[in-house]
Amino acid sequence: MSLQKSRHIAADGPLPDGANALLARDLRALRKARGLTLSEIALKLGRSVGWLSQVERGLSTPSIGDLRAFADLFGVPVSLFFGHDVPEEAERGVIVRAGRRRSLGTSDSGLVEELLSPDLGGSFEMLRSEFAPGAELKTAAHRPTEEAGYLVSGRFDIEIDGNWHSLAEGDSFRFGGKPFRWKNPGNEPAVVIWVISPPVY
């Protein structure tokens, strides 16, 4: 099977055909996942509701500065909006090809995540999370989500609501709305397929 051609979104260039639609869908999904209205976003960003509505419909293209403001507001890396491919129409919103995933985070943080979902819409998102040896989330995270994970390789410890659990390859977990921390106690990277509902990225 031959791979279909796709076009790449560059952070320093114009958005190609189809990219506006993907960006619009992502921004709308991030806003809705946080329970915010267009009016609330407009107030926080100092922009008009009309402009935001056009952005969410793919009729207006935000500047790099606007995207940085969106990233700060939603608590996501600005890289989320760049560095992903625009698939052909038949695969858009359905297929993510290996090697063409959006990367979140950097190896400097000890965690690199790739978005396995085609976009940020829908009721859940799926990520491939790779934790470097010794990487640790020291401050507990707590978000209004239901989450599940499957440990593909390595060793992985996760604390859920104050209780630590040590996982081996093939183990899985699920929790909802509870504080959690994690660490990789092993000498090799730990790879977890992580599902979050509703999407947070």
Rg, Å, the chain Cα set? 18
What class has domain 7-86?
Answer: mainly alpha
Q: How far apart are CA 186 and CA 201, in angstroms?
A: 27
Q: How many CA atoms lie within 13 A of 141 on its CB side?
A: 14
Low-confidence ranges of the chain (pLDDT < 70): 1-19, 83-87, 105-108
Position 193 scores a pLDDT of 98
For residue 132, the model assigns a pLDDT of 95
Residue spans in the chain of domains classed CATH 2.60.120.10: 102-197
Domain 102-197, what architecture? Sandwich (2.60)
Distances (CA, A) of 152 to 45, 81, 103, 170: 40, 27, 18, 6
CATH 1.10.260.40 domain span(s) along the chain: 7-86
**10 Å Cβ neighbour count for 142?**
11
Closest CA to 22 of 88, 104, 69, 68: 88
